[in-house]
Amino acid sequence: MIYQLGLTFFGLTPDYKKIVLDEVLLLCYHSQGGFTHDEVYNMPIRYRRYYLQKLGEMIEKQQEEMNKKFNLNSGTETPQPGKKLKDRPPIPDFAFKARAPKK
């Protein structure tokens, strides 16, 4: 018997299987032990997507806080490609003339 759909069984396609496994990896890795592989794999899709969305929001928030903290503590501008920093202190001459001691 020849099937016109191409698949002779029910199951996940290779593309969808990769998506599911990527979601499982992200949740297991970034939840820091909060989820096991079996829990995430057998979790309903809507719950898995909800946790992934919340995880993404948390990571973005942490990244913004780190950027703010870095920019406030450093007291300097973040370098942009093609843009030089203002009022950069000169590098002292002895930094270029230093040599290793002779044996």
48 CB burial (10 A radius; 0-12, 13-18, 19+): buried
Which residue numbers in the chain have pLDDT < 70? 1-9, 72-103
* Spatial CA neighbour of 41 closest among 26, 56, 21, 61: 21
pLDDT of residue 40: 92
